[in-house]
Structure 1
Amino acid sequence: MNLKKYTQEFNYNFKLAYPIILAMLGHTIVGIVDNIMVGKIGATELAAASLANSFVFIALSVGVGFSTAITPLIASADTENDIVKGRNVFINGVFLCTFLGILLFTLLYFFKPLIDLMLQPVEVTQMAKPFLDIVALSLVPLVIYQGFKQFSDGKSQTKYSMYATIIANIVNVVFNYLLIYGVWIFPEMGMMGAAYGTLISRIVMLLYFVFVLYRLDVFTPYLQKITLKEINLKTSKYIAGIGIPSSMQSLFEVALFTAAVWISGMLGTEAQAANQIALSMASMTFMFASGLSVAGMIRVGNQKGLKDYVKMETVAKSIMLMTFILYCGFALFFILFHNYIPLLFLDTNDTEQLLMNHEVIEIAGKLLLIAAIFQISDGIQVTALGALRGLQDVNLPMIITFISYWVVGFPLCVYLALYTNLGAEGIWYGLLAGLTVAAFFSYLRFNYMSKKYINNHIKI
């Protein structure tokens, strides 16, 4: 293998990916900040927020996964200098995201009673329901924002979503503090304050991002004089044909992690809180691979539009190599600090919950050791899937993810956690197995497809 041809792409990959990574980190940090601030109230509140967020994450995965269909289509139109095609994709894509955001909120609201069927502690479910209502509502502005963001990413204008997310995080932290603790004229709302902080921050993020796009000349041809007549069934169906399988890929993975939250709840509040700590950290590092995945999607889409299939393969594999190197570093960090990271999430000075917090810290430390290894597989599978989305190849990858997560991963999670002495650790061994299978077969699929493009040199 000639590593130089891949490593020389690292610089451009990084320039394209870092704003996306920071923006995605911002979304994750919103959740981590909520967890830290809610965790300071108590372990039960942290478990309740975790349970509510698990439902929201399932819906969010559908919204975000669907919106990724916009990026490769815009990237391809951009390299072809086809503004009409790009405008058509943008308008119909944002329309679909708006509809989907409203639909997801409605479904979460009416399916809320399912929380009672999750075999979770009663005190946790009682706190989770009102929290879920507000955070679910925040999906509407967030999924609409995703439509605009994926359009901007497809134009290789990735920094503006980073700015929007930074602003959203500042707003989130400020309103969390004001509403959780009842500072100044604001009511003391406890954990519900974190839910309202999230809603407010996501509304601000959408408004800011739309405002910025309308002020930039590069977007003017796409945004001026938009009418409802430009929404058409043909384009919407084409976007949905890519978006629905893409959303299913995301859904299968996030639903697996959500199932992990539910399984951990069956093991007790301590295991559920520990699982949430490990999941928060793994989610944060996952954003690096997710950002690189979007960069790969953009670059593969560009090269596909240019019909330079050799370069297309090179840039995709350079993204995967970057991810592998980066995640080896994250693995080392998790291994070295697995006993210290959980301390960030709990109040160790709370004498009333001293024993509970000590057990949470002990369990979370063990889970972080497993997460150190599994995130390498997670990084490879998400960047390989990103490259496949750049090729607009989404149907077989959808099947790969389903088998990996729900035929391999989930049964192992259940068996190892509930029918062996591994407990919460068994959940994460199951996750590791599912993600490793997904990484292996997703890479094989991209390798096959890229070789097919190169050998045939035709548009597939």
Structure 2
Amino acid sequence: MTQAGVTAAPAVAPQTVGSEFGALARVAGPLAAAYIAEMAISLTDTIIVGRLGSIQLAAVGITANMFFSLLFVAMSVVSVVSVLAAEAHARDDHEGVAHATRQGLWVAVALTLPGLLIGWYIRPILKLLGQDPVILPFAEEYVRAVMWGFLPYLWFSVLRSLMTALGTTVSVFLISVGSILLNLALNYVLVFGHLGVPAMGVAGAGWASTVVCWIMFLALASEVAWRKRLRIYRVFHGLSRIDLKTVGQILRLGLPAGGMAAAESGFFTACALLMGVISAAALAANQIAIMFLSTMFMVPAAVSHAASARVAFGLGLDDPKAARRAGIVAMWTVVAYMLFSAVVVLTIPETIANLFLDPAMSGNDEVIALAVQLLFVAAIYQVVDGLQIVATGALRGLRDTVMPLVIGLCGYWIAGLGTGTVLAFWLDWGPLGIWWGMALGLAVTATLLTLRFRGVSRRLIAAGA
């Protein structure tokens, strides 16, 4: 189904583990670098706002965590566009690829509405949650600026899913890296007031992020519209037409995926709250370990997104063996990476902790010592943490999203949070109890999701035999 005289080579699935790994790496490598770059954008906001004072930093920190958690859930919903587009790509169905992307853009619009509503009423929401009144005006200033970046970033995520499905993600990486420098420059100008622009404080950081989100979307949209390999799909042709059937399909697959993301992020938030109940030092140590692990986690997150597309591509070729191979290769790839990461953590835990706190400052010794202990547990649990996110992505490629949500709720909240609470407070293990509970919850979730993928993929192979 080629267009404009363009002839496409027949789509074929890699027939060996090595060739599948190569296909996975070509997609996941640039994606991982892009995810890390996008984390750097958030870090830039934090560093710049921190220059204004601790109150402003606290206000932006708590609202950014809430708002971007909501954005992460919405991104998980629209990520299923990569599944539908990859299946159509395998069939050489250009219109199918474009149609899934167009409807994903409309789903993004619908998901933006609750985000804007929460952003506009962030002050009463934070007040209801018992937050310090002194941070409320700053929190409102920041969110009422940054919330206008919600839609363009979701649109960027939809187009990123398209690029993932087509196996061309280098431009996503380049745009993300360029956005770091742009965000830094805009923060400097808008927050402090330079180049004739009045100082806007925390609102400036929010507007900087919004402008960057729009530019990221427009840059990727321009590539999709004008790059020779991509313009044959005519993604933006007929964009005004909404297909409720396809929108419903995206939501049926995507809402459970979003629920899984909410369950996971809520699990880590709940564990952080429990650490805060124990002591401020425990909460600080938890933050150090989580911030480091979040950076390392960007690779499994990228592999998960790539695995969804690679598995769906196999199904689109009506080759369930290729789909199964893609999922298993992705899982082993991330296990190998996380084992390497674990060795790094076990080798230099003090160095990692010292990146966040000055050991020479009074009062930091206790936090650093506890962070080192938590990093030891993390070295063990991050292997299963990476495995569970990739298994989730592989199952998404099989269009299996409801059962993973059930598994996630049981693994995270019952096995993980339940065990952590018992160990920390009933058996008096303290902070380590919570983290061992986290490790168990992630291990249970990873095991069940992996078994689920193996079972579903085997049934598909048997059905096609």
Structures share fold, TM-score greater than 0.5: yes
**1:302-359 deviation per Cα after TM superposition (whole angstroms, max 9, x unaligned):** 111112222221221111111111101111112222222233335678xxxx435554
SS at 1:223's partner residue?
A: coil
1:377 Cα offset (Å)? 0.8
Equivalent position of 1:407 in the other structure: 414
Q: Which amino acid aligns with 1:361?
A: I
Q: Which amino acid aligns with 1:373?
A: I
Q: Which amino acid aligns with 2:312?
A: G
Given the two structures, how large is their TM-score scaled by the length of structure 1?
A: 0.87
Task: Work out the CA distance in 2 between the residues paired with 1:291 and 1:24.
Answer: 7
Equivalent position of 2:212 in the other structure: 201
Change (3 A) 1:332 1:50: farther
**1:21-49 deviation per Cα after TM superposition (whole angstroms, max 9, x unaligned):** 11111222223344455567777765554
SS at 1:328's partner residue?
A: helix
SS at 1:300's partner residue?
A: helix
Q: Which amino acid aligns with 1:68?
A: S
Task: Work out the CA distance in 1 between the residues paired with 2:163 and 2:355.
Answer: 35
Task: Work out the CA distance in 1 between the residues paired with 2:316 and 2:326.
Answer: 14
**Quick check: 1:80–1:305 contact (8 Å CA) kept in 2?**
yes
Number of equivalenced pairs: 451
1:12 Cα offset (Å)? 2.7
SS at 1:398's partner residue?
A: helix
Q: 1:440 aligns with which of 447, 452, 456?
A: 447
Q: 1:398 aligns with which of 399, 402, 405?
A: 405
Equivalent position of 1:141 in the other structure: 152
**Quick check: 1:417–1:424 contact (8 Å CA) kept in 2?**
yes
Report the RMSD for the aligned CA atoms in angstroms: 3.0
Task: Work out the CA distance in 2 between the residues paired with 1:204 and 1:229.
Answer: 22
- The answer to whether residue 233 in structure 2 is matched with residue 222 in structure 1 is yes
Task: Work out the CA distance in 2 between the residues paired with 1:116 and 1:425.
Answer: 32
RCO greater where, 1 or 2, for CA within 8 Å and sep 6 or more? Answer: 1
Change (3 A) 1:331 1:273: same
- The answer to whether residue 333 in structure 2 is matched with residue 322 in structure 1 is yes
Which runs of 5 or more structure 1 residues have no equivalent in the other structure? none
**Quick check: 2:123–2:136 contact (8 Å CA) kept in 1?**
no
Change (3 A) 1:412 1:341: same
Task: Work out the CA distance in 2 between the residues paired with 1:137 and 1:277.
Answer: 30
Equivalent position of 1:233 in the other structure: 244
Change (3 A) 1:48 1:293: same
Task: Work out the CA distance in 1 between the residues paired with 2:242 and 2:407.
Answer: 33
1:170 Cα offset (Å)? 1.6
**1:165-198 deviation per Cα after TM superposition (whole angstroms, max 9, x unaligned):** 1111122233334455556655566666544443
Change (3 A) 1:34 1:150: same
Question: What pairs with 1:105-120 in structure 2 (closer than 5 Å)?
Answer: 105-110=116-121, 112-116=123-127, 118=129
Which runs of 5 or more structure 2 residues have no equivalent in the other structure? 1-14
SS at 2:438's partner residue?
A: helix
Task: Work out the CA distance in 1 between the residues paired with 2:85 and 2:208.
Answer: 33
SS at 1:277's partner residue?
A: helix
Task: Work out the CA distance in 1 between the residues paired with 2:369 and 2:54.
Answer: 14
Q: 2:317 aligns with which of 306, 320, 324?
A: 306
**Quick check: 2:308–2:397 contact (8 Å CA) kept in 1?**
yes
Equivalent position of 1:79 in the other structure: 90
Q: Which amino acid aligns with 1:97?
A: A
Given the two structures, how large is their TM-score scaled by the length of structure 2?
A: 0.87
Equivalent position of 1:457 in the other structure: 464
Change (3 A) 1:183 1:158: same
Equivalent position of 2:270 in the other structure: 259
**Quick check: 2:122–2:139 contact (8 Å CA) kept in 1?**
no
Change (3 A) 1:55 1:262: farther
- The answer to whether residue 32 in structure 2 is matched with residue 32 in structure 1 is no
1:209 Cα offset (Å)? 1.3
Q: Which amino acid aligns with 1:210?
A: A
Task: Work out the CA distance in 2 between the residues paired with 1:61 and 1:340.
Answer: 30
